[in-house]
Structure 1
């Protein structure tokens, strides 16, 4: 039996919403996975940080990721799986030195140590790639 125009249109709308939800979830996950991509220890100790990668020396920073109350290196996985279109998800790296690693720091800290540290921009560099991730995921859906 042939579908009515209304039923066909409703089916297309449901499919489009499903595709949009998939693209949104995968793109947000791409940003967080990229931000959580570790920079090798050798690079950390040998020079400036690799832009867009999280420096991992003791794992304190990478494990400090908090997503809507859940904490841990992969805390985002379950939270993203439950996201719906229009939801807002808050994430943060809560280690004391997270901002210094992200933005860099030049000067003397509260313990009198001198720093001239370039920022790794592991959050900002990857958040700026969100549109790239969306385009990539949308192209996958078109196939």
Structure 2
């Protein structure tokens, strides 16, 4: 089984924030990098920039701790996706995500996380330096027993 993921290359990131603008525009219809579904940590007097995106974990804690099963894997993209109709905004997903890249949006009052834009991530398309890259990884599927 093949799954899509965004790989980051901090050594190519200039910290421009275009990825965050593209993400927030898709999510909200406007530009607000503080509400983007990816983060950029700036360190050493803005010399280093570390983009962080959802890893679309195989054993996703965000989905496991959700008391209403509002987070599930999309079969087409392999992304862990939040169902806003089920989400109760308890924020356990944020608490247990090792990257803290998922959580309740203050205005939407629901958890939000990267859904890989349905297969065409806007952040990757907006990145001028190739610091974000789409990769496809093979994940072992269920073992089928022979009869």
- Short-chain TM bin: under 0.3
Q: TM-score, normalised by structure 2?
A: 0.24
- Which has more radius of gyration? 1
Larger helix fraction of residues: 1
